[in-house]
Chain A
Amino acid sequence: MSAARGPFLFADIETQGLRSIDTYRKGGGYEMVKTWIGGHKAPEECIEVVKASGLRGRGGAGFPTGLKWSFVPKESPKPRYLVCNADESEPGTFKDRELMEKNPHLLIEGMILAAYAIKANTGYIYLRGEFETIQRILDQAIAEARAAGLIGDKVGGGDFRFQLHTHLGAGAYICGEETALLSSLEGFRGQPRLKPPFPAVEGLYACPTIVNNVETLMNVPAILKNGAPWFRQWGTEKSPGTKIFSVSGPVKRPGNYEVPLGMPLSQLLNQHCGGPQDGVRIKAVIPGGSSVPLLPASMLDTGLDFEAMVAAGTLLGSGGVIVIDDRTCIVDALYNITRFYEHESCGKCTPCREGTYWMSEIFERLESGHGREKDIDLLWDVSDNIMGKSFCALGDAAAMPVLGAIKHFREEFEHHILHKRCLVNRRREEIEAFQAVTA
């Protein structure tokens, strides 16, 4: 694989030995640390460039990154913190894992520069518990960076002091929510906190804190090097730049792809992923991780950017693209998703805690052939009673997929109720076949 896999994040991702600092530097790595920090450029200018670039959070929320950085109070005497959200747990998403595994130094460089911009002297990388191997890779890279004077007291030969630590979670999707992440990092159960106050003002240890996704931070060095207009050469007006999309499901080439924002989803699937596997037709695609409503096959030309997805009734989310084929039962798929949210609900608030359980139970009944006529409206109403009423976005994430599935595939639900079985269910067929063989 010698050809570049993407415009810049993935451009040299397959370079052999990229994990080692020497190789990373050969490709121009850590230059920006010297230029901006060693060169005593104003942190405020750093924020302005990132603001101008229009970079938006790549973890799922899509909040403008530079704007978020500017929320840190200028005059606060409290120490500031930069936290990298490497809790990647949104089903269908696996981009941060590849990025960190292959190019850990890019994350470190991004964090050093971001920390400089917000005047944070301490950074933490919060990794999901399953990423222990990645923690080792990052720790190794951090040690190399420290030895090279890029982390420590005089970063890049300038006056900036920065310490960076990795922190391993232990299996909780909710810790991807920024205030839950901070709770977990502080040593509490990983439950979200009230906003306001927002983390930029009162975050880790009640100090100003910025929480950014891995991919977001990895964009920063290139933006600072090449400037905002360069970054805007890709993407749309409101969603500039590139994004890495994780494609899974029965396509020929699942994997991570860096493409300009705004590319039609169908182009990503057909051009980059080789289209569906032979003999498979696409019924629906979830464009942004399991938390967002699915798009039926008829809407696959929707652009992969924040605005277009909203207009299509869904969200760009984390960019976890899950392809659902026409022999997969939508109800079964939603059962799987709903069970996920039930397992991951932190339990703090009533609607999510009880509602995800309830919906799972209803789905189980539907799947096992005991569905009732009122179940569809019941599912809809339960989802509606969760949406906007829960403490954090996990409740919405549990509700939205159900609403989307009922909206676009009501007939599959009706089929379950009327005929007490799925319209189609390849998964079930495979299991039955397996059991027949092994019985």
Chain B
Amino acid sequence: MSHAPVMPTEAPPRIEWPESCRAEVKEALARYPNARSAVLPVLWIAQRQWGWVSPSALRLVADTVGLPSPEVFGIATFYTMFNLKPVGRHHVQVCMTLSCSLMGADRLFRHLERKLGIGHGETTPDGRFTLRRVECLAACGGAPCLQVNFDYHENLNEAKVDALLETLK
């Protein structure tokens, strides 16, 4: 996993919180005695709103919680769940850690790859699915399992996965 240098020279365009987010942002800031503690909740609000955290969104979050933009860039990239590029409507995250692996997760993942025609980190051309391998989801008793966005699906096999995909429009 080598990074191609992006190195843009222009600052990303400024964006503002849409009206629908403002109350939530305010409430998030109020939960902590220190504005910077709201950086994760506010990043989540941004991701819920736009589907991913663009450089513009990172800047907006930084201004909202009073942090320098580079620092928010560093915080957002530290965690795995902030999408640094747009993702499909259904983010299919398959657990690959030991318990799930013991119970067939690898085979399940290959099945999904074949079925969706995409690999890890990729999105279907119609924007419907993004497929990713992830680490332990704390659903080991129902291995193999996956998350679609935030919804858990456990005790899977190929047939159940196929049926699930059908329901995800």
Whether the pair A170, B104 counts as a contact (CB closer than 8 A) is no
B-side residues, CB < 8 A to A, are 31-34, 36-41, 43-44, 65, 67, 74-75, 78-82, 96-99, 101-104, 106-107, 110-111, 114, 134-143, 147, 150-152
Whether the pair B38, A431 counts as a contact (CB closer than 8 A) is no
From B44, B103, B141, A246 is in contact (CB under 8 Å) with B141
Encoded as 1 (CB less than 8 Å from any B CB) or 0, chain A from 184 to 219 comes to 111111100000000000000100000000000000
The CA of A94 and the CA of B138, in the complex, are separated in Å by 4
Whether the pair A256, B80 counts as a contact (CB closer than 8 A) is no
Q: Does A328 have its Cβ within 8 Å of any Cβ on chain B?
A: yes
Q: 8 interchain pairs (CB within 8 A)?
A: A94-B141, A130-B138, A167-B41, A168-B41, A205-B33, A248-B102, A323-B102, A427-B102
Segment of A61-69, A333-341, A373-381 engaged in the interface with chain B: A333-341
Q: Does A239 have its Cβ within 8 Å of any Cβ on chain B?
A: no
Whether the pair B147, A130 counts as a contact (CB closer than 8 A) is yes
Whether the pair B78, A91 counts as a contact (CB closer than 8 A) is no
- Chain B residues in 8 Å Cβ range of A167: 31, 40-41
Whether the pair B137, A290 counts as a contact (CB closer than 8 A) is no
The CA of A92 and the CA of B106, in the complex, are separated in Å by 17
The CA of A131 and the CA of B43, in the complex, are separated in Å by 16
- Chain B residues in 8 Å Cβ range of A256: 141
- Chain B residues in 8 Å Cβ range of A346: 78
Q: Does A313 have its Cβ within 8 Å of any Cβ on chain B?
A: no
Whether the pair A248, B110 counts as a contact (CB closer than 8 A) is no
B147 to chain A, nearest CB (A): 6
The CA of A423 and the CA of B137, in the complex, are separated in Å by 29
Q: Does A438 have its Cβ within 8 Å of any Cβ on chain B?
A: yes
A-side residues, CB < 8 A to B, are 79, 88-94, 96-97, 128-133, 165, 167-173, 184-190, 205, 246-250, 254-256, 286, 290, 320, 322-325, 328, 333, 336-337, 340, 343-344, 346, 427, 430-431, 434-435, 438
* Other A-B pairs, 11, CB within 8 Å; known A132-B150, A187-B36, A256-B141: A89-B138, A94-B138, A131-B138, A167-B31, A187-B65, A189-B78, A248-B103, A248-B140, A248-B143, A328-B102, A438-B110
Closest chain B residue, CB of each to CB of A426: B102
Count A/B pairs, Cβ under 8 Å. Answer: 155
- Chain A residues in 8 Å Cβ range of B134: 171
From A79, A171, A435, B79 is in contact (CB under 8 Å) with A171
Known: A93-B138, A187-B37, A189-B74. A324 touches B102 (CB 8 A): yes
- Chain B residues in 8 Å Cβ range of A189: 74-75, 78
Whether the pair A344, B135 counts as a contact (CB closer than 8 A) is yes
- Chain B residues in 8 Å Cβ range of A324: 102
- Chain A residues in 8 Å Cβ range of B140: 91-94, 246, 248, 254, 320, 322
From A96, A205, A254, A438, B138 is in contact (CB under 8 Å) with A96
Whether the pair B37, A185 counts as a contact (CB closer than 8 A) is yes
Whether the pair A333, B141 counts as a contact (CB closer than 8 A) is no
Whether the pair B34, A434 counts as a contact (CB closer than 8 A) is no
Whether the pair A430, B107 counts as a contact (CB closer than 8 A) is yes
The CA of A250 and the CA of B144, in the complex, are separated in Å by 11
B138 to chain A, nearest CB (A): 4
Whether the pair B43, A249 counts as a contact (CB closer than 8 A) is no
The CA of A427 and the CA of B41, in the complex, are separated in Å by 39
Known: A248-B99, A344-B135, A431-B110. A172 touches B141 (CB 8 A): no
The CA of A413 and the CA of B16, in the complex, are separated in Å by 57
- Chain B residues in 8 Å Cβ range of A173: 135-136
Whether the pair B136, A97 counts as a contact (CB closer than 8 A) is no
Whether the pair B142, A170 counts as a contact (CB closer than 8 A) is no
- Chain B residues in 8 Å Cβ range of A91: 97-99, 135-136, 140
From B36, B40, B98, B152, A92 is in contact (CB under 8 Å) with B98
Whether the pair B139, A430 counts as a contact (CB closer than 8 A) is no
